[in-house]
Structure 1
């Protein structure tokens, strides 16, 4: 019986507390989590990973979440990688802009771990 490969999630958020909360939530389901403190760091890490899922904030220094998603989606290799936005921005325009940029889902902070877990399961099951 072959061992199943752990799913890998890249988490980009400028809040270390949020990165830790997301990491704990995802690790509890057996997902390997790699974190970045902004979009620039996430873009630097991305080519070194065989990523199955990306979770990103929108308001980050250097490269914000919208730009990060746009750059990721420009690369054919990452076209099918699910992207979940997890942001405190909750206006309809923010959500529409995030989805238009290429995100698959949009969750609002503060988040309920079970809701994030459920959203992740949709893409990693």
Structure 2
């Protein structure tokens, strides 16, 4: 009969994986916030460009090459911001779900609780 080492237990694997959850949560929060701000700025710039273009009596929805170029001006940034929101949201929600499912498990607690007197040396 073979014995498995202590590091190969499922609890050891869980401890190794759980140390990545909090950084993924932080990454999800930052990515979502930055992407939301970027999308807000890009949509504001797009609206401003359309407003300035329409002051001269032209419409941004005209089929002219100039209007089409203005409509597509911020398309790359909008797509990048939306992809960032989706990826950040997936990271955020996924890490929160994993943290919620593992909320009752103790990580790194060996059961040795020290009182103030033990720590103070009295």
Give TM-score scaled by structure 1 length: 0.18
Write 1 or 2 for the structure with the bigger share of strand: 1
Larger Rg: 2
Give TM-score scaled by structure 2 length: 0.18
